Amino acid sequence: MSVAFAGNSTPGSSREAGPLRVMIVDDSVVIRGLISRWVGAEHDMEVAASLRTGLEAVNQIERINPDVAVLDIEMPELDGISALPQLLAKKRDLVIIMASTLTRRNAEISFKALSLGAADYIPKPESTREASAADIFHHDLIQKIRHLGARVRRKPAVASPPLAPASPATAVRGPLVARPAAATPAVPAPSSSSPLSTRPFSTQAPKVLLIGSSTGGPQALMALVAELGPVIDRVPVLITQHMPPTFTTILAEHLARTSRKPAAEAVDGEPVKPGRIYLAPGGKHMRVVRSGADVAIALDDGPAVNFCKPAVDPLFTSAIDIWHGAILSVILTGMGSDGMRGGKDIVAAGGSVIAQDEASSVVWGMPGAAANAGICAAILPLNQIGARVNRLFAGDRS
């Protein structure tokens, strides 16, 4: 394991080459030791510093000059949420991943951290003695560091509108996602260097809107649902976001405030009606099934799909039995390829897929997989998806 304290690039900008420099800030010596070992074992990253408090991080950030910081929420002297804006003020393109135990309070603080510029968050296991929990934490953290660190090097830093936690909002900076069941594999983000082909939109009028998202999804969802009032009034909107329990509860509350429409975690057996947003609860797959003449939610506690739980593909494929080709699906930012196979099935049934473009995605894994598979009717910047969805539900088929 290497621990490097001397920065070798100009503070305020990421280096173009060499291992990702990771700063670990946590008052737990056990957590610091674990993350240091994990990072040090990776060929493409190194430990730039291992610090106990947010105050140490703020005081040393310019000297250390990391690419990525893993920042604990609860620390003495200066906690993570207080240190966050100070760190970004000194290094504007620093990738900050908030780490916290899985509680309601910490979930709310993690959402607040996103509004202050955090790039992502990850829940820490209650006990590192539980092998499966530690393995998930290990794999997810390394993937977040790798994907988000690579993105910041690849693109210039661009400020995005923050999340307003108590009022309607349009966008949030950085990703917020975690997977409670299993880790996302290290799949390189697809490249859009070659032209991507699209197909015509379905000639059928859509009767439902399905949305899948992962890394960066909550922010993208806030931006999108803020524009979808007319659609939500006409059809049900079902969303799967890779996220653990508690966090999905809070995300649903944010979606309700942002859209000004009823939004909640889906409940097993509840009817699916227009005018509502249904969010897959953390740790459960969400499907739709026939219930007499109605459509109902079916929650599934089965194995992870695409290394995720909830996963997008179960929702997409189950919808075909209900609405056949009258489906419009949207695949937003995220690591991995979840949603691509379900999207293929939707297109084969006569429905349509829209993918978020690479430039506006935090990680162009999921939408990139769909785009490169040739199943998309449109590949759009996030700020254009809402308008296109509204037009399609209003009768435009182009």
Mean pLDDT across the stretch 338-342? 98
- pLDDT the model gives residue 251: 95
pLDDT tens for each residue of 285-337: 999 999 999 999 999 999 989 888 999 999 999 999 999 999 999 999 998 99
- Cα–Cα distance, 333 to 311 (Å, whole number): 14
- pLDDT the model gives residue 154: 66
**Catalytic residue, candidates 50, 110, 213, 214:** 214
pTM: 0.83
**Catalytic residue, candidates 338, 352, 357, 361:** 338
Domains recognised in the chain with CATH numbers: 20-154 (3.40.50.2300), 208-393 (3.40.50.180)
Catalytic annotation on 313?
Answer: no
- pLDDT the model gives residue 150: 85
Pair 159, 201: CB distance under 8 Å:
no
Pair 163, 254: CB distance under 8 Å:
yes
Catalytic annotation on 214?
Answer: yes
Return the percentage of the chain with pLDDT > 90, whole number: 70
Cis peptide before 168 (omega within 30 of 0): no
Among 24-38, 42-56, 117-131, 296-310, which is the least confidently predicted range?
117-131
pLDDT surpassing 80 at residue 127: no
Q: Identify the band that residue 167 occupies on the pLDDT scale cut at 50, 70 and 90.
A: very low
Q: Dihedral through CA 150, CA 152, CA 155, CA 156, nearest 10? A: -160
Catalytic annotation on 67?
Answer: no
Mean pLDDT across the stretch 372-398? 96
- pLDDT the model gives residue 125: 80
> Which of 388, 385, 393, 381 lies closest to 160, judged by CA?
381
Mean pLDDT for the chain?
86
pLDDT surpassing 70 at residue 163: no
- pLDDT the model gives residue 193: 55
- pLDDT the model gives residue 172: 35
CA 165 to chain centre: 17
